Structure 1
Amino acid sequence: MADQILSQEEIDALLSAMDSGELDVAEESQEVAVEVRPYDLTAQNIMQRGQFDALEEVYDKFVNLYQASLSNIFQRAISVKIISQETVKFGEFIKAFSNPTGFVIFGMEPLIGSALIAFEPNLVFSLIDCMFGGDGKPMEKIREFTMIERRMLNKMALGVLKDLETAWDAAYSLRMSLRKIETKPEFVYLVNPSDQLIIVVFAISTESFSGNIHLCLPYLMLEPIKEHLSSSYLREKDRASSFGDEIRNLLRRTEVNLVAELGKTVYSVQDILNFEVDDIIRLNTGPQNNVTVNIERVPKYLGMPGVVKGSKAVQITDVIDHDRGKG
């Protein structure tokens, strides 16, 4: 360490060189390559594991309900199943559709905003053909929907929303309301083009035809209830439900003491010490007065004493409400 300490002469020489400019003390700056990644502050992070697990139950229930509804309406076997789930930006999603497409825009009260169900055109024409007694054979060329076909699309929309509302009861109670039917993608606006959508594609198929419907749920719309859709909430809900059932079953089997109080009175200790056989104790009630029925020493009912099949009994005549008169 001593060899690294400058002497006074060396310090003076160094200062002199700095003053005269012979020594350049400015260090060369070395640029360090830093990787910069763009970050969108408005983007929604919806890929957290387990954040929307409750929706899986909603989708499964909807599949069963909608399959039963379609099979019942058309009196033929119709299959409904989930074929994909993904999250995409609204701008990218809407560009994938052409004119015409059956866009069903609907509300999910009390949530703010609108959601969307998109019927592919081939499926719309096939379902309408089945409604009028056809076999649903796909059209060779896609054309614009007529006024009658738009009305039939409106009827289909009400049916699918009814089943979707019932399916949502599995996770969170919502009321579906049809807001608009549109056929041109350029006229459909739910959220900003950069906002994320949860997209679920359902395949509908029979022996004669097949097609898809796309359920689109904006992330911003689900934001207020996302805690109710998480896997942790489902676990707590199931645990609370299971624990509550166990407690109820345990309470139903629990035995408690029930005492019908015929009457009461007050005596001094001296009077009690002087009691003898055949002494009569006067009570505060008569044969026409109600008696109090206590459960674990807590008054719960009023009743009239009597005899049933040779056994003494009490007929309940009133319930004692301890909160009555409060407030």
Structure 2
Amino acid sequence: MGGVVAEVLSQQEIDRLLAGVNSGEVKEAELGELLKKKEVYEYDFRKPTRISKDQIKTLRNLHENFAELYGFHLASRLQTMVSIELVAVDQLRYSEYVLSITNPCCVYIFDVGQTNSRAVLELTTDLVFMIVERLLGGIGSPPKAPRAITQIEQRIIQPLVLQALNNLSTAWRPVYELEFPLCGFETNADFVQIAPAGEIVLVFSFEVKIGDESFLMNLCYPTFALEEINAQVNLMRSLSRATGKNREIAYRALSENLLKTCIEVRTLIGTTSIRLKELLDLEVGDIICLDTHVDESVPIYLNDKLKFYGKPGVVDGVVSVKIVREASEDHE
């Protein structure tokens, strides 16, 4: 389905156009016709752009840092010239990404921090064979016929994959604290299910150069795994744009909004265990003895996190708790 979109001119193009009008090279009538002319661009509503250009720019810089870190590590391990360059960032449906993978493949599945989502690191088999050959003292020649990597080759390459995920975590750290634990491996892309077929994924494509040879490496994230992270990216970008007095105003506004945030505060007076028969026999007026002594402090939780200890009591006819110490003091 198509939509009508007006072309946006750069400032340099506008200056040239005005200069042409002033010199007579471009007639005003012709200029009017150019302004009325509209160009139609195709837009696929089944494939929306989920990540904005500004977010893509931040993520691109982040993954360029990852490429540099991992390139240094591979060069030290393989004892040869290694360079890794980010060559493309694409948004496409997950089914399209899976179809682009050639079987047999080397796809490592990893968790994306605390987002309950998974992503994949895809290495071409030629890249894996090259690295394994180099680590074992060979020249890095590929096998004569395409084949899946063996379990021994998996064990050899796995430390380098774990290091790649560690470098990826380091690259993410300025934006968001994330860990990427490895949780699976597949040689058939059809068995890799990290997102529904129609879900949009973000694919970072890297060119890995080892000596005179070039190979492909991909990182694929489902966009729903990046939603919370993108919120943090937007916040950091807005703060980074502010300078001087504007930065102070931005921080003050952020602090004021945080002070308005509601936090649940609750305390646990005590617990006990009773038999089911005793539970069924309970009546109004019965007394239940708890495991908390009268002079014992009770825990106080802020959003389910233990923060203080206090003493229960009554103030102006209302049941209350007086804070007596911080929970962190128990660990000192």
Structure 1 and Structure 2 fold alike (TM over 0.5): yes
Aligned pairs (5 A) from 1:179-194: 179-194=183-198
Runs of 4+ residues over 6 Å off in structure 1: none
> Structure 1, unaligned stretches of length 5 or more?
1-36, 245-324
One-letter code of the match for 2:111? G
Q: What is residue 236 of structure 2 aligned with on the other side? A: 233
Partner of 1:165: 169
Report the number of matched residues.
209
The alpha-carbon deviation at position 144 of structure 1 amounts to 2.0
Displacement of 1:239 in angstroms is: 3.2
Q: Distance in 1 between matches of 2:200 and 2:207?
A: 22
**2:101 paired with 1:104:** no
Aligned to 1:176, the other structure's residue is in SS state coil
1:124: which partner in 2? 128
Partner of 2:215: 211
Cα RMSD over matched residues?
2.7
Q: Distance in 2 between matches of 1:240 and 1:137?
A: 54
Deviates more, 1:208-217 or 1:132-141: 132-141
CA contact (8 A) 1:57 1:171 kept: no
Residue 113 in 1 paired to residue 117 in 2?
yes
Instruction: Assess, with a 3 A threshold, how the Cα gap between structure 1 residues 326 and 77 changes in structure 2: closer, same or farther.
Output: closer
Instruction: Give distance in 1, aligned partners of 2:192 and 2:101.
Output: 11
> Which residue identity lines up with residue 81 of structure 1 in the other structure?
E
Is the Cα contact below 8 Å between 2:200 and 2:222 reproduced in 1? yes
Q: Which residue is equivalent to 1:63?
A: 67
CA distance in 1, matches of 2:67, 2:244: 25
Higher mean Cα deviation, 45-54 or 141-150?
45-54
| Structure 2 CA distance for partners of 1:217 and 1:172, relative to 1, 3 Å | same
Where do 5+ consecutive residues of structure 2 fail to align? 1-42, 249-323, 327-332
CA distance in 2, matches of 1:79, 1:38: 36
Contact kept in structure 2, 1:44 and 1:195, CA below 8 Å: no
Does structure 1 retain, via aligned residues, the 8 Å contact 2:74–2:82?
Answer: yes
| CA–CA distance in structure 2, aligned partners of residues 150 and 80 of structure 1 | 22
Report the residue type matching 1:207 in the other structure.
G
Match of 1:18 in 2: none
Q: Which residue of 1 aligns with 2:93?
A: 89
CA contact (8 A) 1:52 1:229 kept: no
> Contact between 1:65 and 1:163, CA under 8 Å: does it hold in 2?
yes
- Tell me the residue number matched to 2:156: 152
**Deviation at 1:72?**
0.9
In structure 2, what residue type is equivalent to 1:176?
A: F
1:167 is displaced (CA, Å) by 0.6
- Offset of 1:120 from its aligned partner? 0.7
The one-letter amino acid paired with 1:51 is Q
Alpha-carbon separation, structure 1, partners of 2:244 and 2:189: 44
Structure (1 or 2) with the greater helix fraction: 2
* 1:195 corresponds to 2:195: no
Residues 124, 153 of structure 1: 8 Å contact kept: yes
CA contact (8 A) 2:51 2:223 kept: no
Distance in 1 of aligned mates of 2:230 and 2:56: 7
What residue identity is the alignment partner of 2:183?
R
Q: Distance in 2 between matches of 1:236 and 1:223?
A: 19
Structure with the greater alpha carbon radius of gyration: 1
Alpha-carbon distance change, 229 to 326 in structure 1, aligned in 2, over 3 angstroms: closer
Going from structure 1 to structure 2, the CA distance change for 1:194 and 1:209 (only over 3 Å counts) comes to same
What CA distance in whole angstroms lies between the structure 2 residues aligned with 1:211 and 1:63? Answer: 13
SS at structure 1 position matched to 2:71: helix
The 1:176/1:241 distance shift into structure 2, 3 A limit, reads farther
CA distance in structure 2 between the aligned counterparts of 1:52 and 1:223, rounded to whole angstroms:
13
Taking the aligned partners of 1:118 and 1:54, their CA distance within structure 2 comes to 22
* Paired residues of 1:136 and 1:209 also in contact (CA < 8 A): no
